[in-house]
Structure 1
Amino acid sequence: MPETPKKPRKIEAAFFDVDNTILRGSSSFLFGKAAFKKGFFNRKDFWRMAWQQSLFISRGEKLNSLDAIKDKALSLIAGHKATDLTDLTDEVYENYISPKLWPETVRIAQEHIKAGREVWLVTATPKEIADVIAHRLGLTGGLGTIVEVGKDGILTGKLIGKTLHGKAKRKAVRALAEERNISLSRSYAYSDSVNDLPMLTAVGNPHCVNPDVALRYYANEAGWPILDFKKRELRANKK
């Protein structure tokens, strides 16, 4: 009898949240900052988003603050051409995202690539932003929220499916693992927020980066590694 073909050995991957994990603050806000300078919306709307951004940085990711930033961003881009915002992505990365990157988290992500693992960004941010960050950092790719584009190429201000957040991240990671033959039990995940527990608990090697209070407590109880680059930054600034 002919031998049954062996199934290919599953690969390993590392999954990284973006906001407050790969970079400081909200990537959607930084994109909005560039859009404001291009005249997509007015100064009053921009400062409202800036206030929400400051709370996001100081308090960590909360569902209500994340939703507020998302809802405002979607309402502001509605009616604009999708190509106009896509054209902003490189400028956003160079001028706004790149200076906000946490070098330590970027180094860890790139070390996973060197070790032969796939590295995916998993974020509530629109997929276009996740893709450009992943491409610029030499990572495998990005999973993000999908913004609806109308037949005439105009952004509707609505989403296709749900925001990639909470349980939706776990669902997306599991679907990707099935598609790409990834062993989640041997894979890694990194996040700052307790809202990402569904993703963190989906892998065998969860790590917390700049964790909020609730996630720090959970990580300590579970014995997960905690990487706190915010404290290191504060110590460096005091010298």
Structure 2
Amino acid sequence: MIVRRIAFFDVDETLIDLKSMFSFRGFYFRQLWGQESGAKAERAAARRIEHQVLQGHERSTINTLFYEDFRDHQPELVSEAVETWYAQERARPGFFIQPALDALQAHQRCGDEVAFVSGSATQFLAPLAAELGVSHVLANRLEMHRGRFTGQLIPPQTIGVGKRQAALSLMSELSAEPNNCFAYGDHLSDLPLLMSVGTPTVVARDPALIQHARQHGWPILWPAIATQGGKP
């Protein structure tokens, strides 16, 4: 009997050294409206998010608010901008978090399925998934109506417990036993995902998650400061 194994990877600050959502939004706004107006729009959007954080709202609420900025935008223009943004960021030194990239490629060499599980959007992660040969992208899907984004997400939302639900659904679909699977994350909000598999691994960034990993004997990957761009 073939044992199916899946390795689930959070993306932002686990596999790559930025938050793809926020990085792309800033790039996209500047591309749409020019450097000055785009930067002003980005600052206003960032202040709305910061206000929600200060109010103590959960990450899922903040995540939902983020995508409202894309209401009435055309999917084709967003996808074109994503390709340009990704090429720019990909050329930057230290784009990949090398220990996590090494782990992903090791899973692929072993024949494991690899899946992204992210609060980012499927559109934003498409070039990364294509480059790394990842066919399962469990990420937020932007709702469309009459050829434009509505600013809403199509359930389920892939953040917090939503990541766990998405992972369990894929494991069921591929007949993979959770105890045989792997997960990688960098933030305490990744705990539901990490706890849904037999082998969780923490990418060191969040002190609270690092402490949890130490208490439970989980592996920890320590990113090094890169001096040159990684190659997949």
Instruction: Name the TM-score, length of structure 1 as normaliser.
Output: 0.81
Deviation at 1:200, TM superposition (A): 0.5
**2:119 aligned to which of 106, 120, 124:** 124
Q: Percent identity?
A: 26
Q: Does 1:159 align with 2:153?
A: yes
Deviations for 1:55-102, whole angstroms, at most 9, x for unmatched residues? xxxxxxx97577546524x23221111111122222222112553221
Alignment CA distance shift 1:53-1:81 (3 Å): same
For 1:52 and 1:210, how far apart are their aligned partners in 2?
28
Name the structure 1 match of 2:188. Answer: 194
Unaligned runs of at least 5 residues, structure 2: 51-55, 228-232
Given candidates 20, 43, 62, the residue that maps to 2:39 is 43
2:29 maps to a residue whose letter is: F
Hey, what does 2:221 align to over in structure 1? 227
Kindly report the root-mean-square deviation, in angstroms, between the aligned alpha carbons of the 2 structures: 2.6
Q: Which runs of 5+ in 1 are unaligned?
A: 1-7, 55-61
**Is the 2:72–2:148 contact (alpha carbons within 8 Å) kept by the matching residues of 1?**
yes
CA distance in 2, matches of 1:22, 1:52: 27
Alignment coverage as a number of residue pairs: 217
Shift in CA distance, 51/19, structure 1 to aligned 2, threshold 3 Å:
farther
Aligned with 2:141 (options 126, 143, 146) = 146
- Offset at residue 153 of structure 1 (A): 0.6
SS at match of 1:211: coil
Task: Between 128-137 and 212-221, report the one with greater CA deviation.
Answer: 128-137
Partner SS, residue 184 of structure 2? strand
- Larger RCO (alpha carbons 8 Å, 6+ apart): 2
Alignment match of 2:69 (pick from 59, 64, 76): 76
Look at both structures and tell me which one has the larger radius of gyration over its CA atoms: 1
Who is 2:16 aligned against?
A: 23
Distance 2:195 2:205 in 1: 15
Alpha-carbon distance in structure 2 between the residues aligned to 1:82 and 1:225: 39
